[in-house]
Structure 1
Amino acid sequence: MFYNDTRRQINVLAEKMMKGNRCRNIFVIIAIAMTMFLISSIISIGSGYLKSAGRQQQMLNGTTADIILTNPSKQQLLALQQDNNVKSIGISRQIGFIDTTAYPRINSILLRWCDTAEWEQHIAPAVGTINGQYPASGNEIMLPSWVLERMGILEPVLGQAITVSFRYGYTDIHWQPLSEAADFTFSLCGWYEDYSSNKLYDNAVAYIAADFWQTSVANETNTKSALSLTVSAEGIDQLCAGLEPLNALQELTDLSKAGSSKHSAGPLAAALGMIVTIMVCGSLLIYNVFYISVTKDIQLYGQLKTLGMTKRQLRKMIDRQVRILSFWGILSGLAFSAATVFVIVPFGIRTLAGELIMDYAISPSYSPFVYAGAAVFSFITALASSRKPARIASMVSPIEAQCYMAADAPGKKSSRTARGNKVVQMAVRNVFRDKKGTVLVLASLFLGISLFVVVNGILAGLDVSYLADEYMEDDVVITAGAQTAFSRRVLADLQAAWGVQEVSYTTKLDGQWILDTDHIFEQYCADFCSAGTVPQSAAEQYVQGNTYQTYLYGIGEQDFYKAVELMGSSAEFSYDDFSYDEFCNGNLVFCASATIVPYEGTAINGTIELLLNGENYTVTVAPYYLSAKFREDGKTLIAPNIYASREWLERVGAAAEINRIALQTDSSERALAAVNAVLADYSGVTVTSKLEKIKELKASFRGITFLGNAISVILLGIGLMNFMNMMYVSVHSRSRELAVLESIGMTRRQLRHMLLIEGSTYALLTAVLVLTLGSAVLYGSFQLIKVQAAYAVFTYPFVSVGFSLAMIFLLCSLVPLLVYRAEAGFKI
């Protein structure tokens, strides 16, 4: 038996059938293109979010290294260089400090040298914009841009001379001073944007050339060094264990675990859920289009089988059509993605990140593998969706094909009756004649509308005014810069300003030392230092045994009762258990934890000593920690912030400058303008208003709303195309039946009424699903959101639901009539 090669004939026949199904081709190409576009966009946004979160942590760390080992021995260095898990090694050395007495807004400037590998592979990728080059000669220096700004150099120039007081050594308590402070003139060779945690403490790192220290009193034995390592993920724990035990001068820091975001799983799960939903909707449309197309052309397939075409050849012919349509669909999706990717991906990451990731860390991902993967997913979706229709076409016999009618309903026929509206009964029966097609259309419409309702329902519950209350308790907060001194006169002026109802303020003493006699801060400080964002130099500067340097704030009566009220929310007592007179006599202070150490509500018991003007004052600490942002922005040193009576501090001669003023206003634009007018003569002042915060949040929510609604509209569009295709084929396949009905007396008005009821039935069933199952999905989704946003209030989106269902009723009613109008010329 000789093999008969019919591939060419099958391909020609497949292409001719495609030419006769232009409407189907358009639907399939659009479905594949949208599936391709949405999958590639969501994967790019999800991967970009994770990349941005990782980059932000690296920028906070100030390095891309995974592990830092201080003062490594030669044996350790040799072993690490031979370790296959170590990808890169960089070395740095702390040479000395610049005296910052002349710059009160700068706490310290550490001079550091690093080798080429450290700078190029670890430091440079973890900082912002770099201007200039790394220092090459002895007197060149590179500084953070914020340091230059606080030095008064607003427009730095390469080669600019900068004279500072500098000393070698004493970079921490383990290393002795190597010289006295002396003026030295550096040449500015560059500057960089610093986003590390050093900046939070007003500490900076300046980079110098090797020549600067190699020809000085500093050398490898009397200065602190650090080894930075990039290690494979599976080798980190093993490497850390291998470096133990450490000597007294060594410290091992694992940065790979610092700042591991608990929020990363949420966006990733959301992205995976969206991809699955899109693939399901896309496959529903593709499957429905091919299914209806096959049933429409089933008689043709039967004739081909009569002529000798085998089941395998029929499947090959349909597969050929799928491959051609997939090619053009994927190509269209790629073209659309390429045209919009540089707008959609950054916008999507920014929307998904919210307040979790800062703008400077946003890192869009444009990997070609993402688009290749999306193309493969889209092709697999199209191929899988066409499997069953192809099997139906191949399995039908020639005799069955000639008698086949897609609208025929199997099973028992209902008995004839004279009761009821025959047009309505016929319409409802027609809807369920093809149960599988009906289910597919309803599923597509339900998914699209439900996503639209869920997005708008969740956002309706996230009232920005409640969210603004989470950020700010006061209507307006005025914060003074380090160089700004408020006079008492400004308080009276603010109280007299239009719309201002209440004024309260705090004072601040920087660098106040406290003695922890009862060791009540020991565990807190240990947790703070283990958070992974505290430089060793800062820990050694602010902690000396059980003596800590911290911020001491003075508060008034209003803030006292607010502090007690906040503690009362975590404990079984009220502010009646505390005496304001006792507070004013200096017998009681409050402690507030840092943002990175959430001790709010944690019990604390004991006394501390405040060192004020050479005198020691023993005070009792209130029994619970306050929130990190109580009357502050969450910034602390190592120890908790201390809040004492402002009146008592003034009596003991420790009065401080006003650092923060809080206002309660009538929340109007006019009141904010009046406050700004009072502060017009003050520089270095930051004014934050709840009114402006609400505007910012509304703008952010508009982005989330747009992104969610855009996806839901696309999914709804897939559902509507499913419905349009279903109705077109339904009317087309019943053209002979409709003509017979018209010949026996049914008017065209009755026919249009019947089709209108059919479309309305789809809309009604979709509405029932949305109002029942969709509402349950909305409520369940909202409960998940409420875990992260306790301020959220469930609000059913009646307007969104009403609008979407009205659109569905309108479209589902119009489509059958338009299709019938196009097919009305059929005759028996």
Structure 2
Amino acid sequence: MLKVNNKQAIMNLAQSGIKTNPKKYLVLVFAVVLTTVLFSSLFTIGSSLLNEIQKATMRQVGGSAHAGLKYLSESEYDLVKDDKKVKDISYRILVGTCEGEVFNKTYTEVNWAEPLNAKYGFCYPEVGSYPQKENEIVVSDIILNRLSEKLGGEELTVGSHIEISIRIGEDLVTKDFVVSGFYRGDSISIAQMALVSKAFQEKYAPVKTVKYTESEQNNYVGWIMADVNYKNAFNIRGKTKALIQRSGLREDLDYGINWAYLGTQMDPMMAALCLILIATFIFAGYLIIYNIFDLNILSDIQEYGLLKTIGTTGRQLRKIIMLRASMICAAGIPLGLLLGIGVGGLLLPVISNQLETVTVDKGKVHINLLAILAAILFSYLTVVISALKPCRKMSKVSPVETVKYTMPLDKKSKPKKKMLTVVMSLSLSLIVLNSVITIVKGFNMDGFIEDMVISDYSVQEAQLDQPGSSYKDTQGVSQDFLAALANQEGVEETGNIYFGNPNHTFSEDDWKKIKENFLCREEVKQKIIKYNSYGNKGFDIDEYLKYLDQEKTLDGNTYGLGKFACEKLKVIQTLDGSSQIDWNQFNSGDYVLASQFEDEGGVLINIVEPGEKVQVEGKEYTVLAIVEMPYAMRLQAYSQIQCDFMLPENEFLSLYQNWNPMRTLIDVQNEKEETFENWLSSYTKQIESSLSYKSKDDIKDEYKSFGDMIGIVGTVVAVILALIGIMNFSNTIVTSIITRSREFAMLEAVGMTGKQQKRRVMKEGLEYFLWTLAASLVFASLLSCTVVRLLINELAMFNWNFSLMPVLYCLPFICLLVLVIPVIVYNRISRKSVVERLRCE
């Protein structure tokens, strides 16, 4: 069989069709532009945010390495340092922590580190040099500024002398250091880092030579912390486990995974949201491009019929159409990319400002080649998918049918099967807009803040809630502060929270109930096993339960609560079945409140029941209620069972005597808040710098425009989708009216007035509107009650409320468009005389 090279001929035919009627294809180019804008803006914002979040999270975590191996001895590091599957590895040695007034609110870890490891940890000196001599040190600019404030504003820089006390195990070493360099610190980091010289480390914290599990005194000093980078960030956890096994390291070795890297863990809700967005954009692009392609192919079908009569095959015709689709993509996708990146650049700062990220390029567009390629690919695939069905339809029509073909119309003289496409396209924007505004309107700032800060102000010792601090002063609120607080104007309510000694001992009868109702449960045993498994490979749960049975003791804390603090508790179950705690009854001194146990699945289980007897510091009390203490009130640390008891303030103090509060909760009159905060800020800086405070306004400042961000982004998406819908409607109406121009001319020739014909086309537009109205209300309701409700219920700062008002507000505008556009199109074609229109075939 003779094979003819007809590629150039097919290319010429594809180009000639576009050149013959460029205006018709401009509409399709614009549709591709809009579709590409959707994808490119989505991927631009997405990739930029991922880059920003990843960098910020790395700085928050304190490192950029993929994983870290913790508490290694020198010999253990030697086992792993030359592994061939590791891209690079470096280490630091723990020396101690800084102590003193300056470091109360800024937990600072002291290490010696290899230069590469310092770069991993963002603490390599940006100004100055690496420490070489025993008295040289590198610190962050944050530490320098704090030290400068303490010295009355004296400027500290490279070469300055600073006195720092370092806690090294049981010893406190105070030394006059010379600043050899400093780096830009991050206020959101878990800890600031200070680097000392190798000479200092070897003198005060020599590297460990025995395994962590064999060491008699694990005070964290002298252990090697190795940071590892692999060739890629895929399956970091699996690679780290394999590295430990391959190197012959102990199975219970502690290691950490850098959760800054995408792929170490993926939020299912976020992944689902991204998939929904991509699917929505593909569907929106498909609706318009398919519709326009279908109409264009049908309007050109006589051209294709003539080509068929001279021997062009269906396969060759499909190639011509797909080449035209590719040419349209070549014209529309680059422009759409530029516009999409621009839209992304405008929206990115709005979104970025809502994220608690600290990066150099915060809010700036990060041009990612993969993101651009993804936008091009999805846009092109949308066009290809949209062109396939019209392509197949055209190739099946015989040459005779194509020559006689005009346009398939239904009984109402409208293009067949276009009603559904147009209605879906118009409805989609309304449905998306309704969903977005439902989410925005559900933003509940007060409800969200209550989960994080339970009063206007919470005062506590500065390091109490520092994640990296091993020292927790649970009596940090002094009597001097409470006395000063009592003299402040505008204070409405105050409530102290006290923290007592842990562990509770039970009587024989009470312990029997705990064994039968609590300790025998499998989920309790599983959590105890998991809690004790690290560093204790041979842990035996049965032996441990026997030990507990002998001691009749459970770990847990004792809290003392003032009335204001007691009102903040979440009541689970009470002795009398009520939903509130009777303060007078509780304050009588005969009762105690108890917490619940939380298993690995988050299920809460009662340890004791209301009405049962328990002992606190040797005194017997009756359990009045089972409660949940908000995270912001309690000591932010956990044990395996965590059996907490709560006493009224006076009863607590009668047991513990001369005890200071762990926290003090404060509510202030609105009009006095500014004055009070100025006093509180000054007091915690100048009088008792060991104290810090959290305020409700701090949270408001961080989240006040979060809802606005969702609204802006969602509205932009809805507007683009609305443009697609209007284009779809306009193109369908234009095609319908142009196709029927001869019919309109004939009707005008026999006496139908232009006014009557306009009324007729307006009636058609109204029919589209009514179907759009029905579809929008039905599907917006379904989406709101399912997907939107599910999403909102996952977010603490939102409340779901059903509403269709956004759809109802937009419908008059849609109605106006669907009535006006047909009239405009009719006026355009009616400029020609009746005779000219009657001559058209």
TM range (shorter): 0.7 to 0.9
Amino acid at match of 1:504: T
Match for residue 337 of structure 2 among 334, 339, 342: 334
What SS does the aligned partner of 2:23 have? helix
Question: Match for 1:123: what amino acid?
Answer: G
Secondary structure, counterpart of 2:658 in structure 1? coil
- The structure 2 residue matched to 1:212, chosen from 197, 200, 206, is 200
TM-superposition CA deviations, 1:222-274 (whole Å, max 9, x none): 93333333456343333344567749xx8422436899997722122211211
Q: Residues 224 and 3 (structure 1 numbering): CA distance in 2 closer, same or farther, change over 3 Å? A: closer
2:745 to 732, 739, 742: 739
**1:165-185 deviation digits (Å, cap 9, x = unpaired):** 457x53xxxxxx6x7745343
Q: Quickly say closer, same or farther: Cα 1:582–1:182, change in 2 above 3 A.
A: same
Q: Is the 8 A contact 1:32 1:330 kept in 2?
A: yes
Question: Corresponding residue for 2:418?
Answer: 437
In the alignment, does 2:139 pair up with 1:143?
yes
The corresponding residue for 2:28 is 28
- How far the C-alpha of 1:770 sits from its partner, in A, is 1.0
Residue type of the partner of 2:495? Y
Task: Indicate the SS of the match to 2:417.
Answer: helix
2:279 matches 1:276: yes
Q: CA offset at residue 810 of structure 1? A: 1.1
8 Å contact from structure 1 (residues 29, 328) kept in 2:
yes
* Partner residue, 1:295: 298
> Structure 2 vs 1, CA of residues 820 and 136 (structure 1 numbering), >3 Å: closer, same or farther?
farther
Counterpart selection for 2:805 from 783, 799, 810: 799
Question: How many Å apart are 1:734 and its aligned residue?
Answer: 0.7
Rounded to whole Å, the distance in 1 between the matches of 2:725 and 2:36 is 17
1:190 corresponds to? 182
Residue 278 of structure 1 deviates from its aligned partner by 0.8
Structure 2 CA distance for aligned equivalents of residues 621 and 158 of structure 1: 61
Deviation (angstroms), 1:737: 1.0
Structure 2 regions of 5+ residues with no counterpart? 211-221, 463-475, 536-550, 686-690
Q: CA contact under 8 A between 2:93 and 2:207: conserved in structure 1?
A: no
Deviation at 1:820, TM superposition (A): 0.7
Aligned-pair CA distance for 1:378: 1.5
Q: Give 1:291 shift.
A: 1.0
Distance 1:472 1:675 in 2: 17
CA distance in 1, matches of 2:292, 2:242: 56
Instruction: Specify whether residues 751 and 463 from structure 1 end up closer, same or farther in structure 2 by C-alpha distance, changes over 3 A only.
Output: farther
Distance 1:696 1:757, change over 3 A: farther
Query: Which of 702, 714, 720 is the aligned partner of 1:714?
Result: 720
**221-230 or 754-763, which deviates more:** 221-230
| CA–CA distance in structure 1, aligned partners of residues 451 and 204 of structure 2 | 54
**Distance change >3 Å, CA 822–CA 311, structure 1 → 2:** same
Deviations along 1:26-77, one digit per CA (max 9) or x if unpaired, are: 2222222222232233234445555556556544543334241323353x44
- Judge conservation of contact 1:40–1:371 (CA < 8 Å) in 2: yes
Percent of residue pairs bearing the same amino acid type: 21
- CA gap of 1:102–1:447, structure 2 versus 1, over 3 A, is closer
Q: Does 2:573 align with 1:568? A: yes
5 Å-filtered alignment, 1:409-424, equals 409=410
Aligned to 1:123, which of 118, 121, 124? 121
Change (3 A) 1:627 1:376: same
Structure 1 partner of 2:650: 647
SS of 2:822's equivalent in the other structure is helix
CA 1:130/1:5 → structure 2, altered by over 3 Å: closer, same or farther?
Answer: same
Q: Which amino acid aligns with 1:438?
A: M
Which residue of structure 1 lines up, in the alignment, with residue 240 of structure 2?
236
- Residue matched to 1:452: 433
**Aligned partner of residue 631 in structure 2, secondary structure:** coil
What corresponds to 1:14 in structure 2?
14
Q: Secondary structure at the match of 1:68?
A: strand
Aligned to 1:506: 496
1:422 alignment counterpart: none
- Deviations 1:311-347 (CA, angstroms, capped at 9, x unpaired): 4443333233222111011110222234344443454
Q: Structure 1, residues 274-328: CA drift from partner, whole Å, max 9, x if none?
A: 1121112112211111111121222333334445544444333323322211101
What displacement does 1:149 show? 4.8
Q: 1:47 to 1:22 in 2, by over 3 A?
A: same
Q: Look up the match of 2:225.
A: 226
Task: Return the alpha-carbon distance in structure 1 between the equivalents of residues 383 and 706 of structure 2.
Answer: 36
Q: Summarize the Cα distance change of 1:219–1:312 in structure 2 as closer, same or farther, 3 Å threshold.
A: closer
Alignment of 1:46-195 (within 5 A): 46-47=46-47, 58-63=58-63, 64-72=65-73, 74=75, 76-96=76-96, 98=98, 100-101=99-100, 103=102, 105=104, 109-120=108-119, 122-124=120-122, 132-151=128-147, 152=149, 156-166=156-166, 170=169, 181-194=173-186
Q: CA deviation at 1:821?
A: 0.9
Deviation per CA, 1:381-431: give whole Å up to 9, x if none: 21232233334444434432343221434xxx7xxxxxxxxxxxxxxx23x
In the alignment, the residues of structure 1 paired with residue 92 and residue 620 of structure 2 have an alpha-carbon distance, to the nearest angstrom, of 43
The equivalent residue for 1:557 is 563
* Distance in 1 between residues matched to 2:105 and 2:533, nearest whole Å: 25
Whole-angstrom distance in 2 between the partners of 1:358 and 1:621: 45
- Please state whether the residue corresponding to 1:771 is helix, strand or coil: helix
How far apart in 2 are the matches of 1:303 and 1:139? 91
SS in 1 for 2:710: helix
In 2, distance between residues paired with 1:365 and 1:271?
A: 19
1:84-129 deviation per Cα after TM superposition (whole angstroms, max 9, x unaligned): 443332222223555x255572587543112233223x322xx799
**Cα RMSD over matched residues?**
4.6
1:566 aligned counterpart, secondary structure:
strand
Q: Which residue of 1 aligns with 2:471?
A: none
Paired residue for 2:607?
603
* Counterpart residue number, 1:723: 729
TM-score scaled to structure 1, two decimals? 0.77
- Equivalence for 1:755: 761
Distance 1:142 1:23 in 2: 67
Alpha-carbon distance, 1:469 to partner: 4.4
Question: 285-294 vs 390-399, which deviates more?
Answer: 390-399
3-state SS of the aligned residue for 1:746? Answer: coil
Report the alpha carbon displacement of residue 527 of structure 1 after superposing the two structures with TM. 7.5
Partner of 2:660: 656
- With over 3 angstroms needed to count, the CA separation of the structure-2 counterparts of 1:582 and 1:147, relative to structure 1, is farther
Alpha carbons of structure 1 residues 235 and 467: separation in structure 2 relative to 1, 3 Å: closer
What one-letter code is carried by the residue in structure 2 that aligns with 1:161? H
Q: Which residue in the other structure is 2:459 paired with?
A: 479
Distance 1:823 1:394, change over 3 A: same
Amino acid at match of 1:94: L
How much has 1:707 moved relative to structure 2?
0.7
Matched, 1:769 2:769: no
Which of residues 701, 704, 709 in structure 2 aligns to 1:703? 709
Contact 1:284 1:440 in 2 (8 A): yes
Task: Tell me if the contact between 1:406 and 1:434 (Cα under 8 Å) persists in the aligned partners.
Answer: yes
TM-score by length of 2: 0.76
2:328 maps to 1:325: yes
Equivalences, count = 755
| Aligned equivalents of 1:677, 1:227: Cα separation in 2 | 45
One-letter amino acid of the structure 1 residue matched with residue 390 of structure 2: P
Corresponding residue number in structure 1 for 2:548 = none
| Cα distance in 2 for residues equivalent to 1:221 and 1:673 | 56
Q: Write the distance in 1 (CA, Å) between the matches of 2:48 and 2:125.
A: 20
Q: Does structure 2 conserve the Cα–Cα contact (< 8 Å) formed by 1:583 and 1:589?
A: no
Deviations 1:728-775 (A, max 9, x none): 111111111111111122111110000001011111101111112331
- Call closer, same or farther: CA 1:488–1:264 in 2, change over 3 Å: closer
